[in-house]
Amino acid sequence: MSIARRADRLRIQERACELYVDNRTAPLRPDEAAAFMSWLRESRTNVEEYLAVAALAEQLPAVAGEAAESEAALIAAARADDGTVVELGGRPAPRARSDARLRRRLAVRRPTRFTLAAAAALLAAVGALLLWGRETARAPYTARLATAHALQRAWSLPDGSIVRLNSDSRLFVSYSAGERLVTLEQGEALFEVAHDPGRRFRVDAGGAGAIAIGTQFAVYRKPSGTAVITVVEGAIGVFSGGPPAASAGLALPPSAVRVNAGQQVTVPRGAAPSAPVAVDVADATAWLHRRIAFEGRPLGEVVEEFNRFARVPFVVEDEATRELRISGAFSADDAESFADFLAALDGVRLRRDADAVRIVARPPRA
């Protein structure tokens, strides 16, 4: 999440805390009630954060007898192993956000004039807004997302799914009431798919495709047209050619190859998917951290990945050198260290030109 988006979310959370305390203290005046409903209608995020505050406040009495002690215990329980505090909505926040400030924001006063009728009206209104939010999420949506050379970026889609694009990547999003379709035109993307059993999530990568309902997986559409698909969590169905007919519920289409978490499948252009194989998911998705990790992979493939970040491209001069198997891990931004690594390989030498670093076969020693 960007700094600007995190700041916006924090602002909404703080406003939700203030409104919750106001609602629990006394009945709202007509103008206050109208302003509150207007705030809720501004976005689904406002509704989500207000409900998160209400749910958290309901848990406080169960932790300890006194409100202050309850809040302290809840804050202590919410501390993560890495020293962060869990924000409302389950998102990590910097520890610098003090306990005192959090307790002040979440101060829950006993209701004095907040009637049952007002509470029922509020719940009914929020329920209607949530239904409105779900209908809005099913509305048609299109977007074209792209990254430039050496840049990466993440987007949140209307249904709550997240797409992360690697360098030099481009895709088109097209949501309808019946299907969530993403066309990966070039490059690599990781998809964190929001659960929606009534509407499948399909990725089209040329001749290859993948279908998921709620999972996390990466698709790399290589320049050659071959697609490499890696499943991080859950399971997906992979196919070639046209998309299989839609299946009911959570079932994957019977004609698709099932790929589980920790597995990878390759779909060459115009061919059927390969059998799934086990992979190191951390290595396969190292690009998310601007790293390139490889174990026994052809030098040509590794060079292709480095070229998505390098200012001066690497060029492999002959096919035999391209097939040389290598292993290692480097920062995607450290082309010099990668060049030094290549220069130290047996049977390989480098020739640096103005427009490229050329990798050529080293002549055998006499």
Residues 112 and 87 in one domain: yes
Q: Is residue 299 part of a domain?
A: yes
Residues 259 and 155 in one domain: yes
| Domain final position from 79, 114, 137 | 137
Residues 173 and 250 in one domain: yes
Q: Is residue 366 part of a domain?
A: no
Which pLDDT does position 14 carry in this prediction?
Answer: 78
Average pLDDT for runs of 10 along the chain of length 366: 62 81 72 80 82 70 44 43 36 41 44 44 50 59 95 92 96 93 97 90 94 92 94 95 68 85 95 96 95 95 95 94 96 95 93 94 73
Kind of pairing between the strands at 235-240 and 208-212? antiparallel
Residues 118 and 209 in one domain: no
**CA dist., res. 224 & res. 169, Å (int):** 15
Which pLDDT does position 116 carry in this prediction?
Answer: 44
Nearest to 138 by CA among 168, 115, 161, 158: 158
| Domain final position from 118, 137, 156 | 137
Positive or negative CA dihedral for 81, 87, 91, 92? Answer: negative
Q: Is residue 231 part of a domain?
A: yes
| Domain final position from 243, 264, 281 | 281
Residue 213: both structure tokens together = 């309902």
CATH number for the domain spanning 191: value is 2.60.120.1440
Residues 193 and 294 in one domain: no
Residues 43 and 76 in one domain: yes
CATH number for the domain spanning 340: value is 3.55.50.30
Nearest to 213 by CA among 161, 139, 164: 161
Residues 208 and 165 in one domain: yes
Domain containing 159 equals 141-281
Q: What is the dihedral of CA 173, 177, 180, 185, to 10 degrees?
A: -30
Residues 38 and 55 in one domain: yes
Residues 167 and 253 in one domain: yes
Q: Is residue 101 part of a domain?
A: yes
Which pLDDT does position 137 carry in this prediction?
Answer: 55
Q: What are the C-alpha distances in Å from 281 to residues 24, 84, 264, 326, 362?
A: 48, 26, 9, 18, 34
Q: Is residue 112 part of a domain?
A: yes
Residue in this structure with the two tokens 């962060």, named with its chain if needed: 84
Q: What are the C-alpha distances in Å from 68 to residues 5, 73, 77, 87, 100?
A: 31, 9, 14, 18, 10
Total domains present in the chain: 3
Which pLDDT does position 34 carry in this prediction?
Answer: 77
Residue 150: both structure tokens together = 């050496």
* Residues whose CB is less than 8 angstroms from the CB of residue 90 and which lie 6 or more positions away in sequence, other chains included: none
Which pLDDT does position 249 carry in this prediction?
Answer: 53
Buried/exposed 34-57: b ≥16 CB within 10 Å, e otherwise: eebeebbeeebebbbbbbbbbebb
Q: Is residue 264 part of a domain?
A: yes
E strands in the chain: 85-86, 92-93, 141-146, 153-156, 162-165, 170-175, 179-192, 200-205, 208-212, 216-221, 227-233, 235-240, 257-260, 263-267, 277-278, 291-298, 314-316, 325-331, 348-352, 357-361
Residues 258 and 324 in one domain: no
Residues 190 and 240 in one domain: yes
Q: Is residue 193 part of a domain?
A: yes
Residues 103 and 208 in one domain: no
Q: Is residue 307 part of a domain?
A: yes
